[in-house]
């Protein structure tokens, strides 16, 4: 049974507006350094959620090739998933609500060398509102622990439909126990528009990884 990766270590840092400590992760041969602030007034996006680790570990297991692929992540939080994808060669747009972007930019700067920074954009994308500012030709769309509250699902769906085309691969992961009924219903709603396959499950942490394609 697949076991979900965990942080390798953590280190308290001099507290600042964004972070209280740094967490360190080993995945795909990279050492990731992620600043977090669990008590932040900014809410849910300031820690690394289990589903983000589920996606990272799935990409490692499947050796997914992101070289020169155009990738966008919704509700990226700390940015860990997109940072990994950028290190794997992807051309990544990391999105979240405006107030979360500064911490993402700092986490990008901890991990992505200046010579690779052109591969990473950090932008505001509020679900159901800002997607028109983005193109519709992404190779991959990523999201972890964002299909949680039923009221968000129509807005996530609207953004997904705009950002994707028939070739786009969507990888979403969810920690099911956070809100089992609402999350299952959310994925069911998305599956009306996207062929959806449960491609991996991390049983002990109740994390599901889904691969989705636009229905024709």
User: Which residues contact ligand SAM by CB under 6 A?
Assistant: 44-45, 48-49, 51-52, 75-78, 96-97, 100, 126-127, 144-146
Phi, psi (deg, nearest 5) at residue 151? -70, -20
Q: Which is nearer to ligand SAM, 167 or 198 (CB)?
A: 198
Q: Which is nearer to ligand SAM, 88 or 101 (CB)?
A: 101
Q: Which is nearer to ligand SAM, 19 or 49 (CB)?
A: 49
Q: How far apart are CA 98 and CA 12, in angstroms?
A: 26
Cβ-in-10-Å burial (0-12, 13-18, 19+) of 115 comes to exposed
What is the CA angle 116-45-163, rounded to 5?
Answer: 65
Give the single-character DSSP code of 212. Answer: E
Smallest distance, Å, CB 145 to ligand SAM? 4
Q: Which is nearer to ligand SAM, 111 or 144 (CB)?
A: 144
What is the CA angle 143-147-149, rounded to 5?
Answer: 145
Smallest distance, Å, CB 119 to ligand SAM? 19
Smallest distance, Å, CB 116 to ligand SAM? 22
Smallest distance, Å, CB 50 to ligand SAM? 7
Q: Which residue has the tokens 């700067």?
A: 109
């Amino acid at each position: 049974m697949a076991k979900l990766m965990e942080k390798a270590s953590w280190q308290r840092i001099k507290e600042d507006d964004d972070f209280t400590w740094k967490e360190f992760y080993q995945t795909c041969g990279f050492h990731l350094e992620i600043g977090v602030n669990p008590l932040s007034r900014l809410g849910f996006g300031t820690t690394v959620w289990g589903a983000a680790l589920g996606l990272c570990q799935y990409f490692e297991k499947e050796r997914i090739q992101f070289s020169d692929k155009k990738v966008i992540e919704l509700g990226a939080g700390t940015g860990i998933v997109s940072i990994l994808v950028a290190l794997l060669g992807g051309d990544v747009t990391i999105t979240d609500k405006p107030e979360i972007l500064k911490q993402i930019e700092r986490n990008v700067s901890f991990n992505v060398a200046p010579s690779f920074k052109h591969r990473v954009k950090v932008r505001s994308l509020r679900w159901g509102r800002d997607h028109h500012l983005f193109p519709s030709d992404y190779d991959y769309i990523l999201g972890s622990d964002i299909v949680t509250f039923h009221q968000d699902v129509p807005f996530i769906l609207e953004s997904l439909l705009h950002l994707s085309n028939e070739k786009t691969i969507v990888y979403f992961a969810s920690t099911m126990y956070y809100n089992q009924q609402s999350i299952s219903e959310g994925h069911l709603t998305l599956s009306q528009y996207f062929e959806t396959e449960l491609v991996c499950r991390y049983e002990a942490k109740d994390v599901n990884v889904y691969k989705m394609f636009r229905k024709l």
